[in-house]
Structure 1
Amino acid sequence: MEKKAARSFMNVQHEANLEPLPPHVPTYLRAAVGPPSTSSRRHYRSVCGSSAKYTCVRCGTRFCSCRRQVIHNDTRCLKFVA
């Protein structure tokens, strides 16, 4: 089995021959980043993926409810307070 030589991103773009495509077709050459978000960053709970309003002050784990935070503090918090 022959080992293929690594190709740079520029070589891959050149081989794809993207220049003649119409302007409405998105390509790597025409990709643009949208404006920055004006809303605050959303946080999600690591276990269930729900929106997380609360954070453990010891380890930084995010929670969706106070009840889950109590369970975490009693059983799963990995940071120890000196």
Structure 2
Amino acid sequence: MTISKSTLRGSNRLKEGDKRRVVDETSRKRRQRKVMELLESDNYHDDPHADLVMSKKIPRFDDSLEQRSTRTKKRNQLVDEDRAEAEANKRVSYMDIQCEESPMPPRHFCAVCGFLGHYSCLSCGTRFCCIRCMDTHADTRCLKWAA
């Protein structure tokens, strides 16, 4: 059994490049839409573990006997109140506000570490900044939600 020289030698980058697939723009948009739907479908319920009693008592530094009853408002309540106040005062609400387009070109950030992402993945188009972030992206993130 003889092994040819072409199988022994060669660029690993080129060999691995054949295994990876390049996704077209429509598949990238579909994947991005799926990711956004997954993020938006997150529920905004109270934390079920928030009322757990700790085994150790929390020290009290004030001697006041009166208890303040404060309730925190949910995000949806704050948005609804802001919309109602905006309609009453004839102003733009927080959710409806827009700004003009920037004269500067958009900045692209690394999807792994957050630095400026100068390079983009050939398969999915996600930005990264260095080889270490590219390896992390390829191992854990690349085309994870693509179907």
Alignment TM-score, normalising by the size of structure 2: 0.30
Structure with the larger RCO, 1 or 2 (CA within 8 Å, 6+ apart): 2
Structure with bigger gyration radius: 2
Q: Which has the higher helix share?
A: 2
